[in-house]
Amino acid sequence: MQTHPRIGIKAISVYIPRHFLSLDTLAVVTGVDPAKYHLGLGIRRMAVAAPNEDPVTMAAAAAHDLFARYDIDAATVGLLVVGSESGVDAAKPIASFVHGMLGLSPDCRTFDTTHACYGGTAALRLASDWHAVRGTRTGKVALVIATDVARYPVGSAAEPTQGAGAVAMVVGGDPEVMELDPFPEAVYTKDVMDFWRPHYRREAIVDGQVSIDCYLRALGHTWAAYEQSSGLCWDDYDYLLFHVPFPKMAYKAFHMLHQREVLVRGASGAGLASLEDAFIARTQPALWVNAEVGNIYSGSLYLSLASLLEAGGPGVQGSRAGLFSYGSGCCGEFFSGRLGPRSTAWEGKIGAREAMESRIELDYEQYLEFRRAGARMTLDGSFAAGVARPVPGRFSFDGIRDHQRVYTTAQEDLGRDWAASDARASSAKAQIGK
Ligand code: COA
């Protein structure tokens, strides 16, 4: 009998920006019934990246915490892949910046993967294949980070689905968080224009309804393909996790699969729980962080996994999860894995609940100011240090000098004169507001 190496996620941590905008605040400004955001989309709050946070600082922070919480030696990382749709440079990958910030070994291959919200999954799948071929021989692990700022035009229908954050994962052998099932891949690719972001724009363009249709088509195709290749069926999954552009999308996806199962079982529907009961048991526990953070594009599926791990406790250990990843453009993939075997492996190490406890609420004007300041810092190459106080002990993007992005590392942050920084911030804010 053929045996497969046990490969998967050994560690997982998230970084969530400290600032957020309540969807109630947005509803007042847009004149939309808040119930549409809460119930129609399933979102309560959206994380807002500060002007000195970008996909690089978020990725570095997520990985920095991951190493600290799981006591991982950075020297063991032989591959760093960053999945993101919000690259900060047309040539230099986010991974290079992060490699430097984390002080990883020179013997480490680094690059980015971009495919809208599929970039994180592309990175994860590639990393697990890499480990099977190379990592098992060298004893090295892969670091996979999904990091994005989801930004749509102010006043657009997609604006309430924005968010920001990063998820970092170590991929390797004897995985303690999730062992990936070794079945052949189930993917679906089609050239469509449902969501895209031209190089000259900071905000994505989306045809929302088309993206929902493409998502569901990709799900139907990959679910059927995976059923064939794995032999796994509805009853084999304790949990079903989906890419979460907004939590209601996960409900739509679950609904479609449930309907399919109703058809498979025929009129009696023997043994099948009702749609609501099944959703509450299998998917809802994996959505609470997403509802608080919004869409983080490439990391949304893994933020959902983090939600489940933090909420589920020992109850999820040993269970099987099916995961559906979707990236506009488009590419979808269905795969699965076993959680565990012991929840102690990740308890207290994910960081989502901790991040929720120290958040700062923005009013609508501050939210707009963050957007304007962030745009000004990147678009004209001006240097604007101290626009907002970074979270202490974090990485900070300080602006562009001589066409190079300038980052302050955590160590430098610790010695900063915050009074002087705040004075600079007020003056920079005044400049930016003009
Ligand atoms: N109370 C409760 N629900 C309400 C409501 C109210 N007062 N008013 C509207 N709703 C519901 C609608 O019925 C709809 O639910 P349904 O999808 O179950 O039918 C939902 O809120 C959304 O409203 P709708 O008017 O259909 O869409 P919209 O114009 O607000 O756009 C998106 C919604 C998701 C298309 C838009 O936010 C978007 O483009 N997002 C980005 C793209 C994206 O995330 N794509 C997903 C695939 S990757």
Report pLDDT for 252.
98
Report pLDDT for 51.
86
282-306 mean pLDDT? 98
Minimum CA distance residue for ligand 1 atom 8: 36
Report pLDDT for 334.
98
330-346 mean pLDDT? 96
Q: Is the CB of 157 under 6 A from ligand 1?
A: yes
Ligand 1 center from residue 41 Cα (angstroms): 6
The residue that leads in pLDDT, 398 or 246, is: 246
Ligand 1 center from residue 378 Cα (angstroms): 31
- Of the given ranges (95-99, 127-131, 266-270), which has the lowest mean pLDDT? 266-270
Taking all residues of the chain, what is their mean pLDDT, rounded to a whole number? 90
Report pLDDT for 136.
82
Reply yes or no on whether the pLDDT at 332 is more than 90.
Answer: yes
Report pLDDT for 431.
41
pLDDT digits (tens, 9 = 90+) for 26-72: 999 999 999 999 999 999 999 999 888 999 999 999 999 999 999 99
- Of the given ranges (7-21, 172-186, 274-288, 397-411), which has the lowest mean pLDDT? 397-411
Report pLDDT for 196.
97
104-130 mean pLDDT? 97
Minimum CA distance residue for ligand 1 atom 48: 211
* Nearest atom of ligand 1 to the alpha carbon of 251: 18
- Of the given ranges (118-122, 176-180, 368-372, 417-421), which has the lowest mean pLDDT? 417-421
Report pLDDT for 2.
57
154-183 mean pLDDT? 97
Report pLDDT for 413.
43
* Nearest atom of ligand 1 to the alpha carbon of 207: 39
Q: Is the CB of 213 under 6 A from ligand 1?
A: no
370-385 mean pLDDT? 74
| Confidence band for 208, pLDDT divided at 50, 70 and 90 | very high
Strand partners, 11: 170
Report pLDDT for 426.
45
- Of the given ranges (113-127, 288-302, 318-332, 398-412), which has the lowest mean pLDDT? 398-412
Report pLDDT for 382.
58
Pocket test for ligand 1, best of 44, 148, 161 (most atoms within 8 A of CB): 161
Report pLDDT for 239.
98
Ligand 1 center from residue 207 Cα (angstroms): 12
Write down the pTM of the prediction: 0.93
Look up the CATH architecture of domain 7-431.
Answer: 3-Layer(aba) Sandwich (3.40)
Report pLDDT for 414.
38
Report pLDDT for 430.
41
Distance from the first to the final alpha carbon of the chain: 70
